[in-house]
């Protein structure tokens, strides 16, 4: 069975970069969103195996999108990433249901975080 991922970031370049990283980890089906509203709606429609959410997005930020996804599916596997590695935001993301928080551009931490969710 193919593993599915939803990648939400307003940068197409970063979405493509993250797709390449996840593809090497065995993910074969990708859904993309450029803002938080689309991310929530795509999650509800497709229920992917994992969600990568940028913290800073138009119309609905990553924390608020995370909260809506977790309200819909408390078992959702969501990883938040952001260029802003502020402790307050990391704590809020984890307390809101994120499985991990990765500071951009350190995506080398993404692979271990993803593997940990599928062990």
Residues 42-98: tens digit of each pLDDT: 999 999 999 999 998 889 999 999 999 999 999 999 999 888 767 888 889 999 999
Task: Evaluate whether 81 touches 50 at the Cβ level (below 8 Å).
Answer: no
Distance CA 42, CA 31 (A): 7
Among 117, 106, 119, residue whose Cα is nearest residue 18: 106
Q: What is the pLDDT of residue 96?
A: 96
Q: Look up the pTM and report it.
A: 0.91
Q: What is the 3-state secondary structure (H, E, C) of the chain?
A: CCEEEEEECCCHHHHHHHHHHHHHCCEEEEEEECCHHHHHHHHHHHCCCEEEEECCCCCCCHHHHHHHHHHHCCCCCEEEEECCCCHHHHHHHHHCCCCEEEECCCHHHHHHHHHHHCC
**Residues 15-52 pLDDT 10s:** 999 999 899 889 999 999 999 999 999 999 999 999 99
Q: What is the pLDDT of residue 106?
A: 67
Report domain 19-109's class.
Answer: alpha beta
Confidence of residue 107 (pLDDT cuts 50, 70, 90): low
Distance CA 9, CA 14 (A): 7
Q: Give 118 or 68, the one with higher predicted confidence.
A: 68
Distances (CA, A) of 33 to 11, 13, 57, 92, 94: 10, 13, 10, 22, 21
Higher confidence at residue 110 or residue 60? 60
């Amino acid at each position: 069975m193919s593993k599915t991922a939803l990648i939400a970031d307003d940068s197409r370049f970063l979405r493509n970069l993250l797709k390449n990283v996840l593809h090497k980890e065995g993910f074969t089906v990708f859904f993309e969103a450029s803002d938080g509203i689309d991310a929530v709606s795509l999650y509800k429609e497709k229920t992917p195996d994992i969600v990568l959410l940028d913290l800073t997005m138009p119309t609905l930020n990553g924390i608020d999108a995370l909260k809506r996804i977790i309200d819909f599916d408390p078992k959702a596997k969501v990883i938040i990433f952001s260029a802003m590695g502020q402790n307050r935001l990391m704590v809020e993301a984890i307390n809101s249901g994120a499985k991990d928080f990765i500071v951009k551009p350190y995506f080398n931490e993404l692979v271990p975080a993803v593997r940990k969710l599928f062990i």
